[in-house]
Structure 1
Amino acid sequence: MIALLLRDLRLAVRAGGGFGLALAFFTILAVLTPFAVGPETPLLARIAPGVLWLGALLACLLSLDRLLALDAADGTLELLAVAPLPLEGAVAAKAAAHWIVTGLPLALLAPVLGVLLSLPGQGAWVLTLSLGIGTPALSFIGAFGAALTAGVQRGGLLMALIVLPLYVPTLIFGAEAAGRAARGADPATPLMLLGAVSLGCVALMPLAAAAALRVNLR
């Protein structure tokens, strides 16, 4: 499982496409938001948590089509299905690699972009924490969507339609936690709910994704 994780990390770094595109999209969204809504500091501070969380969600979505599509195209999925490692473990390793190269950099970049949107310091810290807690759910839900559309020609739109409704609880709790911290309120409750969502996704989504892959590979 660790070998598969390291393989996917090396491929992601060498290819660079999805990883760089996600960060570029996230940065561009944050930079352009003040031009779209105006430079008023109170307004930017109020909308910053929602904008940055939505940007992180969409940035993760951009790279999901590469999660399993390349392996389905070159026959790697068939080899993984008959490998000693359970297919659930392979899916979990791929989702973890996606989070390391996409979700984790987005979480680390968020405080810098929060400055552009006049996000208070406490809100920026909780925003980073919420993204660190919540983005694993995005990657593991995305792995389920990628498994459902593996082998489908141009299945990116279909995958987006599948995973976006499942992303809604993560988006709500993540943005609410950062928003509460920015207003000086206690963000503990939405952070705990966000952690529960992520733990549930990490535990259940590899099972669902492996079942979907087995159906697709028959």
Structure 2
Amino acid sequence: MSARQRNPSLAAATPGLIGSARALMARDLRLLWRRRGDALQPALFALLVVVLFALALGGEKQALSKVSGGVLWLSALLAGLLALDTLFRGDAEDGSLEQWMLAPVPLGWLVAVRTFMHWATTALPLLVATPFLGELLYLPREQLPVLLASLALGTPLLSLLGAVVAALTVGMRRSGILVALLALPLYVPVLVFGAGSVARSAQGLDPLGALLLLAAGLVVALLLAPLAAAAAIRIALN
């Protein structure tokens, strides 16, 4: 008989999956509010990328409309990469990761919750701002639904892949460049299929195949990435 079965009060006091997720999300939101200036950096960086592309191409409508889907996808990828090194860094420095390993819930579950919060605070604002950024790049209106669908499927996949890389390097100091070098090869297929779906839509072709590949990759990453990241954290901290 387990300790929780012998002591009902202990079982009631021990947080379950939902309770631990709520506690971790509430903590992350409090920390985000205290550093709300830093929270705006990914969105501002994406806006800067869009503006620089527009200036580099001379602001010509025809030139911008042809590359607008790829530019928006690239800006979302780089914005997520900018915040990737901080995914587990603060928890490693203040000892929270050791507490995660001792928690009565699976470490992979806590990693999944933290990855969701990373996506919600970096990629979700970009999804909301995509129609506005698309107007800056003269994105054809008929391509906007495909772009939003590809970003909705692709950006969580980027966060999950990035979580594995961040977990592998969590025990290293000043690993920002290393994180980018390790993550970019994993990000390239997602970028190809994401931007490729928008390009196929612009050519009058069916973008469903690329979107289905992104969805399949997202399902596989949801199942495997938190477990791989949890194993990497245990290795890094032992």
The TM-score bracket by the shorter chain reads over 0.9
Counterpart of 1:4 (choices 17, 24, 27) is 24
Q: Percent identity?
A: 48
CA deviation map 1:165-214 (0-9, x unaligned):
11111101110112222333221111111111122112111111111111
2:9 is matched with which residue? none
Note if contact 1:134-1:170 (Cα within 8 Å) is conserved in structure 2. yes
Distance 1:18 1:180, change over 3 A: farther
1:53 aligns with 2:64: no
1:192 is matched with which residue? 212
2:202 is matched with which residue? 182
Q: Please tell me the residue identity of whatever aligns with 2:228.
A: A
2:8 is matched with which residue? none
Note if contact 1:174-1:190 (Cα within 8 Å) is conserved in structure 2. yes
Tell me the SS of whatever aligns to 2:212. Answer: helix
Shift of 1:46: 1.2
1:166 is matched with which residue? 186
1:34 is matched with which residue? 54
Tell me the SS of whatever aligns to 1:118. Answer: coil
Shift of 1:16: 2.4
Shift of 1:112: 1.0
2:174 is matched with which residue? 154
CA distance in 2, matches of 1:165, 1:80: 29
Segment drifting more, 52-61 vs 171-180: 171-180
| Bigger-Rg structure (1/2) | 2
Note if contact 1:111-1:125 (Cα within 8 Å) is conserved in structure 2. no
Shift of 1:18: 4.3
Q: CA RMSD in A?
A: 1.3
CA distance in 2, matches of 1:213, 1:141: 14
CA distance in 2, matches of 1:52, 1:5: 28
For these two proteins, the number of residue pairs brought into alignment is 218
Note if contact 1:99-1:135 (Cα within 8 Å) is conserved in structure 2. yes
Per the normalisation by structure 1, the TM-score is 0.95
Shift of 1:30: 1.0
Note if contact 1:67-1:98 (Cα within 8 Å) is conserved in structure 2. yes
2:4 is matched with which residue? none
Q: Please tell me the residue identity of whatever aligns with 1:41.
A: K
Question: Can you give the 5+ residue segments of structure 2 that lack an aligned partner in the other structure?
Answer: 1-20
Shift of 1:120: 0.4
2:236 is matched with which residue? 216
CA deviation map 1:63-118 (0-9, x unaligned):
11111000000100001001111110111010000011111111121121111111
Note if contact 1:133-1:194 (Cα within 8 Å) is conserved in structure 2. yes
Question: Can you give the 5+ residue segments of structure 1 that lack an aligned partner in the other structure?
Answer: none
CA deviation map 1:100-150 (0-9, x unaligned):
111111112112111111110111221112111110011111111111111
